[in-house]
Amino acid sequence: MGLLSDPNRRRALISLLTRLNTPICIVCYMAGVAWFMGLAFEPFTLRTYMSENAMGSTMVEERFPAGERALATGREFSAHKKRTGGMPVEWLMKTMQAKGLEVFTQRFSRTLPFPDENKERYMVRGTNVYGILRAPRAPRTEALVLSAPCSPGDNNNQAVGLLLGLAEYFRNQIYWAKDIIFLVNEHDLIGMQAWLEGYHHTNTTGTFCHSRGGSIQAALSLELSSDIITSLDLVLEGLNGQLPNLDLANLFYAFCQKIGVLCTIQGKLQRNDWDSVSGYSHAVQTMMLMVMKQASGRPWGDHGLFLRYHIEAATIKGVNSFRQYKTDATTIGRLLEGMYRKLNNLLERLHQSYFFYLMPSLSHFVSIGYYMPAFGLLAVILLLRALDLWVQLSTPPQRTEDGVTDIEPVRGVLSLLTPLVISHLTGVALYMLPIRFQEMAVEHFPVSETEAVVLTAIAVYTAGLALPHNTHRLLSGEGTEQGWRVLKLVAVLYLAVLLGCTALINFSLGFILALTLVPVAAFVTPHVPKVLSAFILVILSPACTLLFSVFFFQELQEMPISFQDGWLLFLSVISQGILDHSLYGSLVYPLITLLVYPCWLLFWNILFWN
């Protein structure tokens, strides 16, 4: 007989499962965490390599000469920006036309659901200016984008200057096979969103773009705020944790090595001593920064919004720190020229290399096949618990009265539905109430709109903690032993599916949630000590995870902050999350409020079952 169909063997297997359940769960958890930490260890990673045949090696000759002139143009731009107090549209149009591009503008306006205190804007109105360099001999079927944001104050003037300098140089070459679009967007991400929607004719917040260059193959966003730099930083993380194709990072790294510019990722320089403790911790820090940034689900550069349209994009930031070797604007121009010449050789979209990866340094990467088992080990814990509960449920209960056993299943289902529905209603309330009732909150309390939204969210979240005591009043009696087991089984499976789907799309978010929620799901029963477990449950809830992540993120960036600042940062993170969702369609906020929080509430419910 087979292993599972032989009743003796099955009984032995099941007893093994129930006896060893907790030890196996603990071992799996340790193994999952260890696997994840081991990903940054250099022998377990692979060196990056160029996968796309058409891009070949870096054998082009870069000849961009006009770095100084580009900086002068940047200074002119800065002066005009100060004079107009925003985007100098006429000056930009005139300059781009003088360089031989076809220039167009796009107006857009957007009203945020509540004022954004970080960037101090509420009703945003702006103009994007873009110039198209038509390929001399090719049909207008494909395009590349180079963009620089028009930021208030003294930021990114050199970026716009370099963009215009490159535009002039590119215009004089005849080897372009794709159109190149030079874009200066106002109000960074909002303007970029409006431009992308207008270009692709999707639901727009601005007008449609008059003229197009074909389908965009790749895009680079430039952020440069100083005349000379010491290093270039590459930013890959985009909206909802989506990453561009690894070939784009490989291209950047290859050109950095060829030209001799210092290149970093996550702002951290690469180290060669991977076998020492400090070297390994450095790699771990770099990887954890990437994980944190990816889990937040927000675009960390203007490039982040391109990824949704299957356009590979990255942001290049110029960093000026205290180092001996400085790089001037001509060299940066040459690097960009080389990258664009190689992107010009592409015959199809970048697809040969990985789309899902983690980078502990710019020259090493970990692909999805290597990092997924870390999450898989955590998900196995949930499945083991579910099996254990299933076994417990199917052993016939020791009952003295026969009549009670009949109504058990019916009562079981009813008692199951109530917590589920109430938890999800709380989640819906957490999703919708903060924005809906901000006016009412502002009327009654002396707070600004942003604070009202955030504090309403926290209030609804905390109110949800009081629920278990209330749902029991709805039930016609106390919960039964059977009842909480069924609820826990459903909750554990629900959590497993939820975390699995999240990890597929955004591994970092799924893994961080799994790290905190899986122990919760595993150990919670009505019989554990109430006060201590309640405390642990709150510590491991999504909101506290977010709070700890904020502090941890600041630590990783070597800018540790005090508790007061940390709390304020935490509040601003919540408001940014809500804004990202309504402006760009980020999915982190709905995921947490509508799915993860109700799931956690179910476990809270189980804790207070009796």
Partner 1 sequence: YINIYSGHTNNWAVLVCTSRFWFNYRHVANTLSVYRSVKRLGIPDSHIVLMLADDMACNHRNPKPATVFSHKNMELNVYGDDVEVDYRGYEVTVENFLRILTGRLPPSTPRSKRLLSDDRSNILIYLTGHGGNGFLKFQDSEEISNVELADAFEQMWQKRRYNELLFIIDTCQGASMYERFYSPNLMALASSQVGEDSLSHQPDLAIGVHLMDRYTFYLLEFLEDIHPASKTNMNDLFKVCPKSQCVSTPGHRTDLFLRDPGSVLITDFFGSVRKVELTMETINLTDPIEQLESGELQKEMHTYADQLPVSEIIHQKPKQKDWHPPDGFILGLWTLILLVFFQTYGVKHLKHIF
Contact call for residue 559 and partner 1 (CB under 8 A): no
Contact call for residue 269 and partner 1 (CB under 8 A): no
Question: Looking at 345, 418, 482, 525, which residue binds partner 1 (CB under 8 A)?
Answer: 345
Which residues, at least 6 apart from 151, have a Cβ–Cβ distance to it below 8 Å? 188
Q: Which two tokens stand for residue 319?
A: 């960093």
Instruction: Identify which of 150, 172, 176 has the alpha carbon closest to the alpha carbon of residue 163.
Output: 150
Contact call for residue 59 and partner 1 (CB under 8 A): yes
Q: How far is the CB of 137 from partner 1 (least distance, A)?
A: 5
CB closer to partner 1, 46 vs 177: 177
Q: How far is the CB of 100 from partner 1 (least distance, A)?
A: 18
Question: Looking at 13, 79, 98, 347, which residue binds partner 1 (CB under 8 A)?
Answer: 347
Specify the long-range contacts of residues 3-12, CB closer than 8 Å, at least 24 apart: none
Task: Give the range of 65-73, 170-178, 379-387, 425-433 binding partner 1 by CB under 8 A.
Answer: 170-178
Contact call for residue 138 and partner 1 (CB under 8 A): yes
For residues 559 and 543, give the distance between their C-alpha atoms in angstroms, rounded to a whole number: 22
Instruction: Identify which of 489, 474, 600 has the alpha carbon closest to the alpha carbon of residue 543.
Output: 600
Contact call for residue 215 and partner 1 (CB under 8 A): no
Bridge partners, 116 (sequence order): 121
Q: Which two tokens stand for residue 285?
A: 């820090």
Task: Give the range of 68-76, 146-154, 172-180, 438-446 binding partner 1 by CB under 8 A.
Answer: 172-180
Question: Looking at 28, 40, 124, 135, which residue binds partner 1 (CB under 8 A)?
Answer: 135
Question: Looking at 268, 341, 364, 581, which residue binds partner 1 (CB under 8 A)?
Answer: 341
Q: How far is the CB of 180 from partner 1 (least distance, A)?
A: 13
Q: How far is the CB of 209 from partner 1 (least distance, A)?
A: 24
CB closer to partner 1, 59 vs 407: 59
Which helix (H) or strand (E) segment holds residue 413: the answer is: helix 402-436
CB closer to partner 1, 57 vs 476: 57
Question: Looking at 20, 49, 90, 175, which residue binds partner 1 (CB under 8 A)?
Answer: 175
Q: How far is CA 298 from CA 134, 272, 295, in A?
A: 33, 31, 8
Specify the long-range contacts of residues 592-597, CB closer than 8 Å, at least 24 apart: 592/542, 593/427, 593/428, 593/430, 593/431, 594/424, 594/427, 594/428, 594/431, 595/427, 595/498, 596/498, 596/513, 596/517, 596/542, 597/423, 597/426, 597/427, 597/430, 597/461, 597/464, 597/542
CA angle 261, 265, 268 (to 5 degrees): 90
CB closer to partner 1, 176 vs 252: 176
CB closer to partner 1, 47 vs 137: 137
Adjacency order of strands within the sheet including 231-235 = 102-116, 121-133, 179-186, 142-150, 215-223, 312-319, 231-235, 263-265
Which residues, at least 6 apart from 344, have a Cβ–Cβ distance to it below 8 Å? 144, 175, 176, 177, 178
CB closer to partner 1, 335 vs 374: 335
| Strand 142-150 to 179-186 pairing | parallel
For residues 341 and 334, give the distance between their C-alpha atoms in angstroms, rounded to a whole number: 10
Q: How far is the CB of 333 from partner 1 (least distance, A)?
A: 17
Contact call for residue 61 and partner 1 (CB under 8 A): yes
Contact call for residue 465 and partner 1 (CB under 8 A): no
For residues 425 and 605, give the distance between their C-alpha atoms in angstroms, rounded to a whole number: 14
For residues 538 and 321, give the distance between their C-alpha atoms in angstroms, rounded to a whole number: 41
Q: How far is CA 603 from CA 382, 495, 524, 527, 533, in A?
A: 13, 10, 7, 13, 11
CB closer to partner 1, 345 vs 572: 345
Contact call for residue 352 and partner 1 (CB under 8 A): no
Contact call for residue 259 and partner 1 (CB under 8 A): no
Q: How far is the CB of 63 from partner 1 (least distance, A)?
A: 9
Question: Looking at 53, 272, 394, 398, which residue binds partner 1 (CB under 8 A)?
Answer: 53
Task: Give the range of 126-134, 135-143, 360-368, 432-440 binding partner 1 by CB under 8 A.
Answer: 135-143
Q: How far is the CB of 252 from partner 1 (least distance, A)?
A: 18
Task: Give the range of 88-96, 134-142, 198-206, 315-323 binding partner 1 by CB under 8 A.
Answer: 134-142
For residues 245 and 236, give the distance between their C-alpha atoms in angstroms, rounded to a whole number: 9
Question: Looking at 177, 459, 493, 569, which residue binds partner 1 (CB under 8 A)?
Answer: 177
Please report where in the chains the tokens 């200066």 appear, as a residue: 184
Q: Which two tokens stand for residue 187?
A: 């109000």
Q: How far is the CB of 52 from partner 1 (least distance, A)?
A: 10
Q: How far is the CB of 341 from partner 1 (least distance, A)?
A: 6
Contact call for residue 56 and partner 1 (CB under 8 A): yes
Contact call for residue 174 and partner 1 (CB under 8 A): yes
Size of the site for partner 1 (CB under 8 A): 21
Which residues, at least 6 apart from 113, have a Cβ–Cβ distance to it below 8 Å? 435, 453, 578, 579, 582
Give the interface with partner 1 as residue ranges (CB under 8 A). Answer: 53-54, 56-57, 59-61, 135-138, 173-177, 341-342, 344-345, 347
